Structure 1
Amino acid sequence: MRIIRLSVGLLMLAMVGTGCISKKKYDALSKDHETLRASSASANSNLQTCQQNLAAATTRVSSLEEQIAQGKAAITALQASLEKCLSGANQGNVNISKLVDEITASNKYIQHLVNTKNKSDSLNMVLTNNLTRSLSREELSGVDVQVLKGVVYVSLADNMLYKSGSYEISDKAGATLAKIAKIIMDYKDYDVLIEGNTDNVPISKPNIRNNWDLSTLRASSVVQALQNQYGVDPKRLTAGGRGEYNPVADNNTEDGKNKNRRTQIIITPKLDQFMELIGQAPKTDGTTPQQ
C-alpha cells in the first residue's frame, strides 16, 4: 500500500512539474489518492482485526485441545472405574449368592428346631395328660404337674411320700409312684431327675446332719424305688438334693413350709438329643444338616 501511495504522489508531482496535467485531472487524481489511502487504512485495520481474531482463535483451539485431552483422560479413568466396579459386582454377586445359601440353610435348621420343639411340647402335653388322668382325685391333691420351658415337673408333697421326719417312703406312696413309674417307662427317650427340697427348719436326727442330707436321701429313696420296685432303667435316673435353698413359698408360714417340703420328679428329653441338634447346625459353607 505504501508503494502505491508513493507512486501516485511521484506521478502527480511529475505531471504538475512538467505542466502536462490540468487542474481538473489533478483534483481527480487527488480524490483517487484519498480514496486509496482510506481503503489502505481500512485494509490495515481489517488486517489487525483478523490478526487479533486469529490469535484469539489460536488460543481457543489450544484450550479446546487441552480440554479434549482432559476429556480423554477422564474417559479412560471412567472406563477403568467401570471395569473395577463390574469386577467388584461380580464378586459381590458371588458373596450375595453364598450369603443367600447360608441364610436358606439357617432357616431350614431353625425350622427343624421349631419342629423338634413342637414335637417335644406335644409329647410333654400327652405325658402330662396321661399322668393326671391316671391319678385319683385324692392323689391329685398331693401331686402338682406342670410343664415349664419344655420340661415336665411332677411335685410330690412330702407327707404323701415319706414318714414324718424320715427319708423312708411310706406304704401309701406306693400306688402313686407306680403310676408315675408307668408314665416314665412309656417315655423311654426322657431322662428323670429326682430333686429333694425341704423347709428351713433344722433337722435333728442322729443319722442326718442337715437339710441337705435329708433332701438328698429322700431323692435317693425315690430313685431306688423307681429302679428296684418298678423297673426304671437306673441310667435314666439322677438323684439330687437342694435342701432349703430352693423355696417356692414363704417359710414364715406353715402353709409355705408345707409347699417347700416337696420332692420333684423332673422329666426332660435326654441331653444327647440336644447335643445332636447342635451338631446338625448348618456348616459355614452353606450346606444343610441331614434330616
Structure 2
Amino acid sequence: MIKKISLGLLVLALSSSCVSKKIYNDLENKFADLKKENRKLADDNEGLNKTKNQLELDGAKLKADYDKLKAEHDKLVADYAAKDKSFKTLQASYNALEKDSNDALTSNINKNRELLAQLEAKEKSLAAEQDRLNKLKADLDASSKRLSELESYIAAKDASMKKLKETLMKSLKAFDGKGLTVHEKDGKVYVSMENKLLFQTGSWAVGAEGKTAVVEVGKVLAQNPDLSVLIEGHTDDDKIMGNLGGGIESNWDLSTKRATAIVNILSENKGVNKQNLTAAGRGEFAPLMSNDTPEGKAKNRRIEIILTPKLDEISKMLNDL
C-alpha cells in the first residue's frame, strides 16, 4: 500500500516538470517516513498475525475444551436428571413405605395396647382368682381342721357311749335274763326294760325289783350329767277296758304314766340333772314284734331309756364347716 502511494507521488513529481527540488525533497522525506512507517506497520501486522494465529489456536483449544466441558455438562445434567428421577421414585417409595410402616406401627401399637389391657385384665382376674383360691384353701384348711376336730369329738363321743354301755351292762348285770337289755345303736345307748320287771298289768306303779334296776341306771346317769335322757313307755295293742288301773283312758295314757313313773325314780337321785329328762308315751304304735302272739305282746310292753350325748357342740361344729 505504501509502495503504491510512493510510486504515485514519484510519477506525479516526474510528470510535473515544474516541481521544485524542495518539494521533491519533502516528498522524499515523506516517502522515507512512509516507508519506515510501512515497515513498522508490516512488522506490527506480522506480530498481529502471529497473535491472531495464536489466538485462533487458543480459541480452537478453548472451543474444544468448551465442547468437552459442554458434553460433560450435558452428561452431568442427564445423569442428574436420571438420578433426580430415581431419587424421586425412591422418595415416593420411601414415603409409601414410611406411611405403611407408620400405619403398621400404629396398628401394632394399638394391638399391643389392647393386648396389654387384656393381659392386665387377665392378671387382675388371675390375681382375684388366686385370692379366691387362697381364701378357699384357707377356708378348706379351716374346715378340714374343724372336720378333724368334729371327727375327733364324735370319736370321743362314740368311745364315751361305748364306755357308758359297758358301765350300764356292768351295773345292771344282776338283771340279765329278767327282761332288761342294754344295746347301742346310731350313737345312742338303749336300756330296755320289759313290763314284767317293772309293772303289774294295767298299773304304772314300779315294783321293788324294777325300782332297783331304775335306781342303778340313775347312778350311772349321775356320773354322766351331759346326757339327754328320753324315757319312752310302750304298750301292746290290747285296749283299755272299763276302769282298769284306776281310770286310765288309753294305751297312750298308760304308756305316758309309766314313763313318768320312771322319771320320778330317776329324779330321786340328786346327781341326775332333771333338765335332761324327758318322759314320752308311745302307746302301741312302736312295737318291736307282732302283737299276734303272747310273746310278741310281752316284748312290746316295755320302757326304753334312751341315752343320747348332747349334740350342741357337734351342731356348732357342723354349722362352722
Distance in 2 (alpha carbons) for counterparts of 1:243 and 1:282 = 36
How far the C-alpha of 1:69 sits from its partner, in A, is 3.2
More helix by share: 2
Distance in 2 (alpha carbons) for counterparts of 1:282 and 1:239 = 29
Q: Structure 1 59/89 Cα, relative in aligned 2: closer, same or farther at 3 Å?
A: same
Q: Structure 1 283/211 Cα, relative in aligned 2: closer, same or farther at 3 Å?
A: closer
| Alignment correspondent of 2:83 | none
**8 A contact 2:182–2:191 mirrored in 1:** yes
Say which SS state the counterpart of residue 172 (structure 1) adopts: helix
Q: Structure 1 81/230 Cα, relative in aligned 2: closer, same or farther at 3 Å?
A: closer
Distance in 1 (alpha carbons) for counterparts of 2:124 and 2:304 = 65
* Percent identity of paired positions between Structure 1 and Structure 2: 31
Q: Structure 1 176/210 Cα, relative in aligned 2: closer, same or farther at 3 Å?
A: same
Distance in 1 (alpha carbons) for counterparts of 2:284 and 2:318 = 40
Say which SS state the counterpart of residue 248 (structure 2) adopts: coil
Say which SS state the counterpart of residue 188 (structure 1) adopts: coil
Say which SS state the counterpart of residue 242 (structure 1) adopts: strand
Distance in 1 (alpha carbons) for counterparts of 2:280 and 2:268 = 18
How far the C-alpha of 1:138 sits from its partner, in A, is 4.7
How far the C-alpha of 1:57 sits from its partner, in A, is 8.8
Q: How does 1:115-194 map to 2 (within 5 A)?
A: 115-136=152-173, 138-194=175-231
How far the C-alpha of 1:283 sits from its partner, in A, is 6.5
Q: Does 1:234 align with 2:274?
A: yes
How far the C-alpha of 1:264 sits from its partner, in A, is 0.3
**8 A contact 1:132–1:140 mirrored in 2:** no
Residue-by-residue CA offset, 1:176-231 (whole Å, 9 max, x unaligned) = 22222221122122121111011111122521000000100000111111223786
Distance in 1 (alpha carbons) for counterparts of 2:272 and 2:124 = 66
The count of corresponding residues between Structure 1 and Structure 2 is 239
| Alignment correspondent of 2:121 | 84
RCO comparison, higher one (Cα < 8 Å, 6+): 1
1:104 alignment partner, one of 141, 144, 162:
141
Distance in 2 (alpha carbons) for counterparts of 1:124 and 1:93 = 45
**8 A contact 1:193–1:237 mirrored in 2:** yes
1:245 alignment partner, one of 285, 295, 300:
285
Larger Rg: 2
Distance in 1 (alpha carbons) for counterparts of 2:110 and 2:150 = 59
Say which SS state the counterpart of residue 283 (structure 2) adopts: coil
Q: Structure 1 59/254 Cα, relative in aligned 2: closer, same or farther at 3 Å?
A: farther
**8 A contact 2:231–2:303 mirrored in 1:** yes
Q: How does 1:259-270 map to 2 (within 5 A)?
A: 259-270=299-310
**8 A contact 1:161–1:172 mirrored in 2:** yes
TM-score, normalised with respect to structure 1: 0.70
Which 5+ residue runs of structure 2 have no aligned equivalent? 1-87
How far the C-alpha of 1:93 sits from its partner, in A, is 2.2
Say which SS state the counterpart of residue 249 (structure 2) adopts: coil
Aligned residue type for 2:199: Y
TM-score, normalised with respect to structure 2: 0.64
Distance in 2 (alpha carbons) for counterparts of 1:205 and 1:232 = 37
1:73 alignment partner, one of 110, 122, 131:
110
Q: Structure 1 228/123 Cα, relative in aligned 2: closer, same or farther at 3 Å?
A: same
How far the C-alpha of 1:127 sits from its partner, in A, is 1.0
